[in-house]
Amino acid sequence: MFTKAAVLREKGADFALEVVSLGEHRPDEVLVRMVATGVCHTDLLVRDQVLPPAPPVVLGHEGSGVVEEVGSSVSDLAPGDHVVLAPRSCGRCRTCLNAHPMTCVGWGPLNLRGRRPDGSTAFRDIDGAEINGHFFGQSSFAAYAVVPARSAIAVRPDAPLEMLGPFGCSLQAGAGTVLNALKPQPGSSIAVFGLGAVGLAAVIAAGLAGCASIIAVDLNTDRLELARDLGATHTIDAGGGGGDAADVVGEVLEVSGGGVDVSVDAVGLSSTAHSAVAVLAAGGVAAIAGSAAAGRDVAFDLNQLMGRSVRGVLEGDSVPALFIPYLVDLYLAGRFPIDRLVRTYAFDEINRAVEDSTAGSVVKPVLLF
């Protein structure tokens, strides 16, 4: 079949709207008609070739839509099901079987190679040349996608699909980091560095967990105000002291009375990771949840780590088939107000959505098909 897609043709380029050929789905795959897809910072890291796969490629990994067809071996999905698309995992390795599919042994190749596990791609351009795809198991910057059934998470039909795509990546990443990985006790304290979609989802989740002190840190004053509306008890302008990390750490330590119980780096910079550890009280845990470029190092004072822990968290350490429907329930109950984060665009406006995201004028752009 033929479908419209946004194709990245070269490093750093705008996305080109093209008609592409989409191959048949396989027995363990489903064909999904996209309703919406989020634009994520990780898409832009690939655009700039900080992360693979290489162009030409169809990106997009926060898709939501409707199942059109199912493969012969798929028994838990049917045409007409509403789905949110999640990263691919093998389902067979030790970590998958231990209920940690987002740290699947094959996570990198399965999601970032731009190909199916056998090296094939379902995408070809109008001249028949192969295009990389299957990004995070989906490549949702296209009106239709061929998706492994394991990555298509059925959600309740009364939820608005136009809003649900980001639950597949950024929102589950932020909320899951707090609720699944850190699991703060009611009454505890947390600091969140970076108030993009991941960080703001972490702020909301901290409130759901019952944190008494929620300290939000960012350079963007509008996002600091939004964080306060979403439950932050304290906000710190990271640019207020000239961007000095030591000043930010000092402010967090002062506000928290000597350190926080848990912290989240939702940025992925060496400086924010260092700060997330530096603000911990004894016994505290820092979660590094932001997407980082390969080879980025961070140094800690060894004494700083005594009695404290640091852990990397990928996609909120969630089981998407369980966690995404849970977050959708919270959203419909008014307890996870993602409407405050989202601005919608027509799919043809993808490059304007990218510009607005880069400029920081929108937290989570969502493209509508």
Count Cβ atoms below 10 Å from residue 249 Cβ, excluding itself.
Answer: 20
Closest CA to 288 of 306, 307, 274: 274
Q: Can you tell me the distance from the alpha carbon of 229 to that of 364, in angstroms, rounded to the nearest whole number?
A: 17
Determine contact, residues 175/162, Cβ cutoff 8 Å: no
Cα torsion through 108, 342, 245, 213, rounded to 10: -100
Determine contact, residues 56/128, Cβ cutoff 8 Å: no
Sign of CA dihedral 164, 170, 172, 178: negative
* pLDDT per position as a tens digit, 47-92: 999 999 999 999 999 999 999 999 999 999 999 999 999 999 999 9
Cα Rg of the chain, angstroms: 20
Report the SS3 class of residue 227: helix
Q: Can you tell me the distance from the alpha carbon of 272 to that of 195, in angstroms, rounded to the nearest whole number?
A: 12
Percent of the chain surpassing pLDDT 70: 99
* pLDDT per position as a tens digit, 240-261: 756 677 799 999 999 999 999 9
pLDDT on residue 205:
98
**Token pair of 108 as six digits:** 């990198």
Mean pLDDT on 186-204: 98
* pLDDT per position as a tens digit, 343-366: 999 999 999 999 999 999 999 999
* pLDDT per position as a tens digit, 261-294: 999 999 999 999 999 999 999 999 999 998 776 7
**Number of helical (H) and strand (E) elements in the chain, helices listed first:** 12, 18
Residue with tokens 């309703």: 35
**Token pair of 230 as six digits:** 């979403």
Q: Does the pTM exceed 0.85?
A: yes
pLDDT top residue among 145 and 303: 145
Computed over every residue of the chain, the mean pLDDT equals 96
**Token pair of 278 as six digits:** 């530096």
* pLDDT per position as a tens digit, 310-337: 999 999 999 999 999 999 999 999 999 9
pLDDT on residue 302:
87
Q: What single-letter DSSP state applies at residue 12? A: T
Determine contact, residues 261/189, Cβ cutoff 8 Å: yes
Percent of the chain surpassing pLDDT 90: 93
DSSP E strand stretches across 137-199: 144-148, 152-154, 189-193
pLDDT on residue 244:
78
pLDDT on residue 242:
61
